[in-house]
Structure 1
């Protein structure tokens, strides 16, 4: 049983993966780089800055801005996964740890009128190191005054799972946000729907 439930954002709470990947693809195309969506899937779960570093983009600030501008029109009404907010509203204490930066959060998350469901939000601007490093998750635990054994981190990427392991926090896979669960054999839990989380809440 857990007193604190910490969630990833993209692919876990909001169904934004395709939007982000298509916007990245379009931004790269303007730089003369042609990549398929599958070739860009590695970027899901890590900060945009790190993605562009991996891709060896020459002008990272401009490309990052172009990427954000291309996804901004769609992020203000990005769909939420069914049952996620209903579930979160019934949990004792909740937070978000995301690889989005503050500018991305302002363009999307904070437009969705769901921020009041969370007692803490940690984004990429809040720590020097990012997932899979444990620092973002450790910061969330600190903000919530929660011991790691009383918390669970729920996400949809390998980076989320490794972040939880590095922080000594149990990990639950948001299976509704992944195509396959095959790579998540070390997850403590595999949740098929958000409602599967509720029995783990301590009261």
Structure 2
């Protein structure tokens, strides 16, 4: 098989957090500065660390802002769900002996609080969070850290994400990239594979032409 490791981003790829992230960020900015920024203008924050997003918004006290954002995010937990087809995909990948991992811009604490409650974290052996590298997406460091810890050949890794930051991270690391179209608003992002739904991954990576 061409790939041995299938590595996922979290937000916009495994779980649908867009509404929660954008609305809680909107509330946070309004509380901190009085500005009400339309949610579509905040989409740049999807796929990068919270700290980096706040810096782009020229928020100086990012530590306090992160705490406030986390608090506001809890008000939207009922809007977050695992994307349709993801659990079936993970089960199928496991049955085919693929190794699965995660490279996310979430901190380890955010991973524990925001992702683990969905009960699918056991599928992933190697998990790289924002705390694990000094540089973050779109820099190559997070995926290179995954390659290092999983002790694999980077040519055997496929990264799946929904944002231009994910795509650039993979490109910078020399890793093949699949765009999770089901969670992305931009089909013009550079990718080796374009997946309309999770089930499309299996047909893409098991097709004879990829062997």
TM-score interval for Structure 1 and Structure 2 normalised by the shorter chain: over 0.9
Over 6 Å off, 4+ runs: none
* Cα-to-partner distance string for 1:85-143 (whole Å, 9 max, x where unaligned): 21122221100101111221122111111110101111111110000001101111122
Q: How many residue pairs end up in the alignment?
A: 201
Q: CA RMSD in A?
A: 1.7
Q: Does 1:122 align with 2:128?
A: yes
Question: Residues 103-118 of structure 1: matches in 2 within 5 Å?
Answer: 103-118=109-124
Match of 2:63 in 1: 61
Match of 1:72 in 2: 74
Q: Is the 8 A contact 1:7 1:155 kept in 2?
A: yes
Give unmatched runs, 5+ long, in structure 1: none
* Cα-to-partner distance string for 1:21-77 (whole Å, 9 max, x where unaligned): 100000111011221101111111000001111111122111110101111244477
Structure 1 distance, partners of 2:11, 2:90, is 15
Structure (1/2) with the larger helix percentage: 2
Match of 2:182 in 1: 176
Q: Is the 8 A contact 2:102 2:128 kept in 1?
A: yes
Q: Does 1:158 align with 2:144?
A: no
* Cα-to-partner distance string for 1:141-169 (whole Å, 9 max, x where unaligned): 12221111111100000000000000000
Match of 1:9 in 2: 10
Q: TM-score, normalized by length of structure 2? A: 0.90
Query: Is the deviation greater in 6-15 or in 172-181?
Result: 172-181
Q: TM-score, normalized by length of structure 1? A: 0.94
Match of 2:50 in 1: 48
Pick the aligned partner of 1:196 from 185, 200, 203. Answer: 200
Give unmatched runs, 5+ long, in structure 2: none
Q: Is the 8 A contact 1:76 1:111 kept in 2?
A: no
